[in-house]
Structure 1
């Protein structure tokens, strides 16, 4: 009976998490909470706006779409908070560098904290991190992707805030020339 090839590498991958050797920025879960969950809320609202057949707002049947646009501003603001959280934590993580074991200190530390992100361009210093293997590359890749995605989410939510305010206040759907059947 042959042994599965995946056992040693798979069990080693969770070792650092079970030994509490994850960096403080990884534990913030900003990609899941900020850039993920808090941005899904406005995404669901924005998709619902397209399919919304609003028929009334504070007793005015012809202003339903306008109120829906104004309510989308609140949802977009939640998205701004989530994406902002993702951007801030990602930038801090890139600035401070990874949490790793170094042979110089013989301890788990943040060896690049004093460089304020300068380590990103000093590839020869990346070998200071001995464990986990390739942690600097992983750290740079993960947090760069989250930074860019958080920035895109921030921009889209900001545009929706402007769109919602203009659509709600200018009466996109409250024109008396158009009649909507409720």
Structure 2
């Protein structure tokens, strides 16, 4: 009973996490609050996957509304929530490792792609990205938030799977109660 209550409570936490994923993913399209770079497609290719909007956002919200559905469907949907939030977490991590798409002395490109994420602690190298201004910090902060949000969604969906499996495999159903009622 406690695990089921916990699972239902944790489902409620998915709503703000999904909404924050949508908002933060949208912010990635507007470095420094400007639409100039999105309009000219000068953003990281991982931003264009819409992970925070589609999978960590809308799809998780859809799954939240289906969580009350009983047994098998609820388990399948929770597993899909694990898959989608896990996939989003991986894509956000790859985007963070690759680095932003920016303008440097060599032109537009992924100037940190060969650093395997080493640029994250090489603050002096960040100045190589001249446009959009502060794009390295922008991407690091927002992608880190999205990784954390989708990671929390992954954990909550996994706990939901455990709660639904426990309820399905160990729960008491009215069919069993009726059978024992007639045996007396």
Confirm or deny that 1:146 pairs with 2:167: no
Residue 36 (structure 2) aligned to one of 3, 7, 15: 15
C-alpha distance in 2 between matches for 1:172 and 1:151: 32
Paired residue total:
147
1:163 CA displacement: 1.1
1:148 CA displacement: 0.5
Q: Specify the alignment match of 2:58 in structure 1.
A: 37
Gap runs ≥5 in structure 1: 1-11, 50-67
Which digits, 9 at most, give the CA deviation of each residue in 1:138-180, with x for residues without a partner? Answer: 100111000001010001111111111121122343451799x
Gap runs ≥5 in structure 2: 1-32
Q: Hey, which of these two has a bigger chunk of helix by percent?
A: 2
Q: TM-score with structure 1 length normalisation?
A: 0.75
C-alpha distance in 2 between matches for 1:115 and 1:126: 12
Which digits, 9 at most, give the CA deviation of each residue in 1:92-116, with x for residues without a partner? Answer: 011100000002x1x1111111111
Deviates more, 1:113-122 or 1:162-171: 162-171
> Which consecutive aligned stretches of 4+ in structure 1 deviate over 2 angstroms post-superposition?
171-175
Instruction: Check whether the contact 1:129–1:136 (CA below 8 A) recurs between aligned residues.
Output: yes
Larger Rg: 1
Instruction: Check whether the contact 1:41–1:79 (CA below 8 A) recurs between aligned residues.
Output: no
C-alpha distance in 2 between matches for 1:126 and 1:172: 59
Secondary structure of 2:48's partner? Answer: coil
Give the RMSD, CA atoms, in angstroms. 1.9
Q: TM-score with structure 2 length normalisation?
A: 0.74
